[in-house]
Amino acid sequence: MLESSSKKKTNMLEFENLNMQQFQMVPLILGFTTIPFMKLLWKPIVLSIIFLTASLPKMIFPQTVGLTLSGGGAKGLAHIGLIKALEENNIPIDYIAGTSMGAIVGGLYAIGYTTDEMEALLNSDEFRRWSQGIIDTDEEYYYKLKKESSDWIEFPFSNVNGEIKALLPTNLISPEQMDLRFMQFLEPAIAGAEYDFNKLMVPFFCIATDVHRNKPVTLTQGNLSSAVRASMTFPGYYKPITIDSVLLFDGGMENNFPTNLMQERFKPDVLIGCKVASNPKKPDEDNIFLQLENVFMKNTNYQMPKNGILVEPSVDEFGLFDFNQFDSLFNRGYQAAQLKMDSIKLLIHRRVPTEELNLKRENFRKQIKPFVIDNIYITGVDNQTVDYILKNIKRNRQLLTFEEFEKEYFKILSDKLVRSVYPRAQFNPNTGYFDMYLKIKTKNEFSVSVGGNISSNLRNTGFVDLDYYFQKKNIYNLYSNMFIGKFYNSITGKFRMDFPPRTIKRDRVISPFYIDLSATTNYWNYFKLSSEWFVDSESPTQISQKEVHFQSNFGRPVNTRGIFYMGFSYGELYDEYFQTNLVAKDDVADVTTFDYSSIHATYEFSTLNYKEYPNQGRFLKLQTRYVTGQEKYRPGTTPELEYQNKSESGHSWYSMLADYQSYFKANPRFTLGIRATVLYSNKSAFSNSMSTLLSAFSFTPFPQSKVMLLENYRSHGYGAFGLIPIFTFTKAIDLRIEAYLYQPYQYIYHHDFYTTYSGKFPNPIIMASAALVFHSPLGPLAATASYFTNEETPYYFQVSFGYLLFNKRGID
């Protein structure tokens, strides 16, 4: 039992204030009464003894200082400024405690981080992405990601014992990124301290809240990353975590300023408190976070005891998530501490030289354990799933560095079977390495997504899909989607089987692969565009394309962001068109069908950050394809008599495609993108000029070009190069300009019945657009102006919301 500090000080006071009468017997005991000279000395001797006795505890036990840091979200960055000021003035910090953001700063300081190191970490773009749950595209496992579609929002449903229930989100931010980083930075240090927070460079504790009992919990031992993560888990924002079978979230809900616990636990002689929060304000009907604060947070006592001093940086104008305001918040904390420095120095007489503090850090860092991982244990799932996940973790040797584990961690997160992962590292003193425990929750569910595109030119398209995953020995996926609209309609169904890596010999491992089977029907209706908003002109000159195809592919990953797949397809193209504008209402369109089979091999690599209108990352697609099939032409009522004969002919060709785009960020406000596309084929003409044009390869680099039949940008081979300057106004709003030089091998002319071509490598033409884009959480909102050389409508403007991402063609 530790004695309370109030009792200790009372005893000292009583000792120092002893009545001199109690010492009147001292000279008698010493025999001074017989010696007159000695009678004069006994009082100074006794007073000296009293003074030395009173000073002895201070000489043996130096003055101690405890620092308490409140919660407050991003405002807690001011704590770093305060610590900087204390260290510059050689003020000691013997104990440290915090809640929420105070726990993060306090935990980092406790493991030996300097204020410069904290600034480098917490003021980085990486930390801001982690705090928002953003996983960089470089880290995602492209092989496992759901293929891009036109969805805006996904609605997951669980299927437990045949009962289907909607799964409501419990948190706004995915915590897996932050969980990994807390573990990366904190666990090697606490392992060196034998998982005792009192053995850190600076003894530390933090506060969390027991969700069930609604009481504060003081965390003093165990996994430091879990403790800090629990302390900063704001309800509804991050998912709560379980420690020792207790579900915990933000300590600020119950005790946002644990000075009382600092006093009880460590009994420092002096307390310093840094307060960057206040009790909840009156809720506003439009502010959800203020409403949550009032529901969950209890009022906290921010008063300091008599042996304490309170520092209050002026941070009221900052928000809970203003992590991009590091410099301002740091300065507020530093300035507030300097204003109180005279009072702090008056209260604290002890000083710690910088050299002594640096030596203390250096000695502590010597005991930090290297983050090398030996065993990996999976919990929360059945043995079959454990076996599947462990097989997917690539291990070239028994031990993994943290960087190697990090790649495998994001692979697991990218798996369609996995809903969430919580990592916990535990040092094993018997092996000298860390064991990794991964608590995994899987998706026993299917999901429904909705989306599409809404535009001012009436090329509106609705989208819905159904996605279902289940596991036996391998992972199986059933997928179906449907597009409905005036311009585009489609239905597809796909079945995919994912196979984990397999060891066939002692040192030979077959990488993971998938096999899929799909059936798709597509329909495009190229009715004539109008220059007026929300108006279309549909005339007998309309052109439509229908397609039904079946595909099967075999694919495997190539590193983290690449994929190679090959396969075959079989299908039929059905094109309806008129070859003249002189058409009566009862005229019948010409029809060309093409029954084909095809094989292909494709490599894709992508780190693009958006499905459409990307502004960072790279993309590369290399493809070779062989097609063979039979064309059948059936004339309608409009061709002249000499052309009204049915025809049938065979076609075979091969094609090669290379498509590359990349974005270079010059500064926070400007990015320059480039795109280069080259397509070569030995394709020949079809039975007439219009069927040749419709079957040709089209160049459609930006969304609006996908919904237009651009005759001058269709050919059997071409090269194109474009510049994409992007001007960024805010994180979500940019002005995107795309300008392309298009060089066909030959232009296709369809003014006559039979196909005619231009000369080889004719003059190139330009395609350009300018789009003001708002990247909303659901999808892009864009106002676009476009230019197409020599088209019937060269200039076009539209406003659209959503995606124009269609199901693949059979010979795309």
Question: Percent of the chain having pLDDT more than 90?
Answer: 65
- Closest by alpha carbon to 739, among 764, 760, 758? 764
CB 560 within 8 A of CB 144: no
More confident site: 805 or 159: 805
pLDDT band at 289 (very low <50, low <70, confident <90, very high): low
pLDDT band at 780 (very low <50, low <70, confident <90, very high): very high
Going 707 to 710 to 713 to 714, the CA torsion angle's sign is positive
Question: Percent of the chain having pLDDT more than 70?
Answer: 86
| Token pair belonging to 443 | 């998706």
CB 74 within 8 A of CB 319: yes
pLDDT tens per residue, range 536-552: 444 445 799 999 999 99
pLDDT tens per residue, range 324-335: 999 999 999 999
Q: Taking all residues of the chain, what is their mean pLDDT, rounded to a whole number?
A: 87
- Cα separation values, 791 from 111, 714, 741, 746, 747, Å: 67, 12, 15, 17, 13
CB 156 within 8 A of CB 442: no
Report pLDDT for 55: 46
pLDDT band at 28 (very low <50, low <70, confident <90, very high): very low
- Cα separation values, 788 from 232, 673, 716, 719, Å: 53, 20, 19, 16
Going 685 to 689 to 695 to 697, the CA torsion angle's sign is positive
More confident site: 87 or 28: 87
**How far, in Å, CA of 117 to CA of 73, rounded?**
19
Judge whether residue 784 has pLDDT over 80.
yes
DSSP 137: T
Give the H or E element holding residue 187.
helix 176-192
**Count of C-beta atoms within a 10 Å radius of residue 193:** 22
pLDDT band at 350 (very low <50, low <70, confident <90, very high): very high
Judge whether residue 446 has pLDDT over 90.
no
Which of 97-106, 477-486, 537-546 is least confident? 537-546
CB 745 within 8 A of CB 760: yes
Angle, helix 5-16 to helix 42-60, in steps of 10 degrees: 160
Judge whether residue 60 has pLDDT over 80.
no
How confident is the model over 267-290, as a mean pLDDT? 80
Phi, psi of 768 (to 5 degrees): -150, 155
Report pLDDT for 750: 79
CB 206 within 8 A of CB 191: no
Burial 228-242 (b: 16+ CB within 10 A, else e): bbbbbbbbbbbbbbe
CB 151 within 8 A of CB 429: no
pLDDT band at 638 (very low <50, low <70, confident <90, very high): confident
CB 628 within 8 A of CB 657: no
Radius of gyration of the chain measured on its C-alpha atoms: 36
- Cα separation values, 616 from 611, 650, 671, 700, Å: 11, 44, 8, 20
Which of 38-47, 466-475, 535-544, 591-600 is least confident? 38-47
pLDDT band at 398 (very low <50, low <70, confident <90, very high): confident
Stated pTM of the model: 0.81
Q: Which residue has the tokens 């002692």?
A: 506
DSSP alpha helix (H) spans, 383-458: 383-392, 402-414
How confident is the model over 639-665, as a mean pLDDT? 90
Report pLDDT for 604: 97
Coil, strand or helix: which one is 7?
Answer: helix
Report pLDDT for 134: 85
How confident is the model over 402-410, as a mean pLDDT? 93
Judge whether residue 359 has pLDDT over 80.
yes
CB 518 within 8 A of CB 494: yes
pLDDT tens per residue, range 373-388: 999 999 998 888 888 8
CB 673 within 8 A of CB 648: no
Phi, psi of 529 (to 5 degrees): -75, 145
| Token pair belonging to 482 | 């449907």
pLDDT band at 774 (very low <50, low <70, confident <90, very high): very high
Residue type, 473: K
Report pLDDT for 22: 43
**How far, in Å, CA of 199 to CA of 111, rounded?**
10
Report pLDDT for 534: 39
- Cα separation values, 339 from 74, 116, 344, 727, Å: 22, 21, 10, 42
CB 417 within 8 A of CB 385: yes
CB 431 within 8 A of CB 233: no
692 exposed, middle or buried (CB, 10 Å; 0-12, 13-18, 19+)?
Answer: buried
Q: Which residue has the tokens 């498509």?
A: 659
Report pLDDT for 49: 53
Judge whether residue 554 has pLDDT over 90.
yes
The contacts of residue 560 (CB under 8 Å, 6+ apart) are 138, 139, 140, 141, 142, 407, 410, 411
How confident is the model over 664-670, as a mean pLDDT? 95
DSSP 344: H
Q: Where do the domains of the chain lie, and which CATH numbers do they carry?
A: 17-60 (no CATH), 65-132+174-365 (3.40.1090.10), 372-442 (3.10.20.310), 445-802 (2.40.160.50)
| Token pair belonging to 448 | 């429904």
Judge whether residue 20 has pLDDT over 50.
no
| Token pair belonging to 547 | 């397609």
**How far, in Å, CA of 244 to CA of 222, rounded?**
10
pLDDT tens per residue, range 171-219: 788 899 999 999 999 999 999 999 999 999 999 999 999 998 889 999 9
Phi-psi sector, 530: left (phi>0), alpha (psi -120 to 50), beta: beta
Residue type, 767: M
Report pLDDT for 280: 63
How confident is the model over 675-699, as a mean pLDDT? 95
**How far, in Å, CA of 266 to CA of 308, rounded?**
14
**How far, in Å, CA of 294 to CA of 317, rounded?**
19
Judge whether residue 11 has pLDDT over 50.
no
Judge whether residue 3 has pLDDT over 50.
no
pLDDT band at 21 (very low <50, low <70, confident <90, very high): very low
| Token pair belonging to 316 | 């009221």
How confident is the model over 258-287, as a mean pLDDT? 86
How confident is the model over 305-309, as a mean pLDDT? 92
- Closest by alpha carbon to 607, among 138, 74, 26? 138
DSSP 810: T
| Token pair belonging to 752 | 């006559």
CB 149 within 8 A of CB 805: yes
The contacts of residue 639 (CB under 8 Å, 6+ apart) are 579, 590, 753
**How far, in Å, CA of 809 to CA of 812, rounded?**
5
Residue type, 191: A
- Cα separation values, 137 from 178, 182, 608, Å: 16, 20, 7
pLDDT tens per residue, range 109-133: 999 999 999 999 999 989 988 988 8
Judge whether residue 290 has pLDDT over 70.
no
Report pLDDT for 642: 67
DSSP 213: T
